[in-house]
Amino acid sequence: MDRFRDPDELARLLGDDLAGPGALYRRLATALASAAGAGLLVAGDRLPSERDLARALHVSRATVVAAYDELRGRGLVESRQGSGTRIAAPADREPAAVTRRLQRGLSTAAVRRFDTAAEGLISMRYALEPGDPRIASALAAVVEDDLPTLLEEVGYAPRGLPSLRAAIADHHTSCGLPTSPDQVLVTTGTHQAIALVTQLLLERGSTVAVESPSWPGCFDTFSALGARLVGVPMDDDGLRADRLGEVLATEQVAALFVMPTFHNPTGALMSAVRRRDVARVAGEHDVPVVEDLAYSTTLTHAGPVPPPLAAFATAGARVLTLGSLSKALWAGLRIGWIRAGADEIEQLGHLKANADMGTPLIDQAVAARLVPELATLGADRTAVALEHLEHASGLLRTHLPDWSWQDPAGGTALWIRLPGYDASGFARVALRHGVEVTPGRETDPTGAWDDHLRLPFTFEPAVMTEAVRRLAAAADELARRSGS
């Protein structure tokens, strides 16, 4: 098995395990041993040469030599003439195939961070913000007015609390997509919505078309089912309908995944004309469309936003629209939803019941009070987002003047082009300086866009100031190492 002959893949797998105190070679040895213990590296996996891994990690060759020596002394690797260095001792029982695919997913390290963040690390993998204080007011109202009635219910509502489904239907209707409550399924966040839609639409080995670049988290969900991903190019107006047509004409695509409103990571806003074209092309090829609107209320955009792509679908076309409160209000309020045809919602309801029997009712009751206020909430958060964007842009222009980007139409991050060095290498150096970023290659099925990185701007000014200081120090180190 030679999966990790690619040193960049192994470097990505190790993630932030190299961060922290102590000698660098011991941290590297510990990270490799931990990966083997977790089943991410298994007996027979061939490790890169010392020189290649040193290049990928931006460390000295002596560091890797010392790490491999330590692992050999512990009996965890073995080296043979002509065969290189391989993982030697079998780990405990290997996880199931789906688990292995998830463990190797692009977002694995970032998810792990929520439980085991290194002290002092500034993780910019996610644009997380404090919860909106109006959540507390809504919760108090639920406890005062709704809880006695809720407690009389059985407690299971796989399709969602009726009042919340009605509120979500009204929200979509007000956005130009007429919707009835029987077209809505409540989920525990967007992530579960994507997982349920994946189960509905895909089979093992299916091909999914995604924007290039796109959100790495969805890649993990699709890949866990064994799906194959194919990227479709974008321009400033969003997904290119002409290139989508070319892909759908040559590939047997089971579903198209798009983010038309404040795309992650570029922040682009797909125009109404483009939405109509994309919906038409997908309908002509009978390909279901999954549109993720999770960022639709995280605005830095002052103009009107077109209706959801589903509003432009031709008769008989399948468009499933996903929404969420996680970005609009708080990641801790795990409320998402799927808007689709009533028949599809019925099927998704069976899948949802099998997954968890329903999202917690008290959370849904809180959400039911907040969804009708999304327009006002979004406008309030826009003002704060614009302040944070201006602050971050000023810092970057001052400390990293050779980085370039376009101000996003909306969303929470900058899509930055780096000047002549690859983002994956930079990310590994930045991690040693105590800041974590998402390199562009993680946003594309082919590993393209590695001259870009995604950088959220939503952090409080003091945190953003320190993060940019560390990024600038990492860029200086990378320049010194490359001799420029």
pLDDT at position 76 is: 87
Q: Where are the alpha helices (DSSP H) in 261-373?
A: 272-284, 342-356, 361-370
Angle in degrees, 0-180, between the axes of helices 241-250 and 272-284, rounded to the nearest 10? 10
DSSP secondary structure string for all residues of 249-265:
HHS-EEEEEE--BS-TT
Residue 466 corresponds to which amino acid?
E
Which residues of the chain are modeled with pLDDT < 70? 1-5, 15-17, 20, 82, 89-118, 298-302, 483-484
Specify the fold of 108-130+376-482: Aspartate Aminotransferase, domain 1 (3.90.1150)
- For the record, the structure tokens of 387 come out as 């302040």
Compute the distance between CA of residue 209 and CA of residue 207 in angstroms, rounded to an integer: 7
Compute the distance between CA of residue 162 and CA of residue 166 in angstroms, rounded to an integer: 6
3-94 CATH choice from 1.10.10.10, 3.40.50.10490, 3.50.50.60, 3.40.50.10330: 1.10.10.10
**CA separation, residue 69 to residues 11, 73, 241, 358 (Å):** 18, 6, 53, 52
pLDDT at position 20 is: 67
Q: In sequence order, what are the residues at sequence separation of 6 or more whose Cβ sits closer than 8 angstroms to the Cβ of residue 437?
A: 124, 125, 423, 426, 427, 430, 453, 454, 455, 471
Cis amide linkage into residue 265, ω under 30° from 0:
yes
**pLDDT digit string (tens) for 262-314?**
999 999 999 999 999 999 999 999 999 999 999 887 666 667 899 999 999 99
Pair 210, 230: CB distance under 8 Å: yes
Compute the distance between CA of residue 238 and CA of residue 243 in angstroms, rounded to an integer: 11
pLDDT at position 300 is: 61
Q: Where are the alpha helices (DSSP H) in 117-236?
A: 134-141, 147-151, 162-174, 189-201, 216-224
pLDDT at position 480 is: 87
pLDDT at position 414 is: 97
Which has the closest alpha carbon to 196: 367, 356, 360? 356
Compute the distance between CA of residue 458 and CA of residue 126 in angstroms, rounded to an integer: 10
Pair 262, 299: CB distance under 8 Å: yes
Which has the closest alpha carbon to 166: 157, 440, 315? 157
Compute the distance between CA of residue 333 and CA of residue 136 in angstroms, rounded to an integer: 11
pTM of the predicted structure, to 2 decimals? 0.81
Q: Rounded to 10 degrees, what is the CA torsion of 235, 237, 243, 245?
A: 170
Specify the fold of 134-373: Aspartate Aminotransferase; domain 2 (3.40.640)
Pair 319, 309: CB distance under 8 Å: yes
Compute the distance between CA of residue 218 and CA of residue 202 in angstroms, rounded to an integer: 13
**Domain residue limits, the chain:** 3-94, 108-130+376-482, 134-373
Residue 347 corresponds to which amino acid?
Q
* Residue whose pair of structure tokens reads 């590939």 in the numeric block: 251
Asked if 3-94 and 134-373 have one fold, the answer is no
First to last CA, the chain: 37
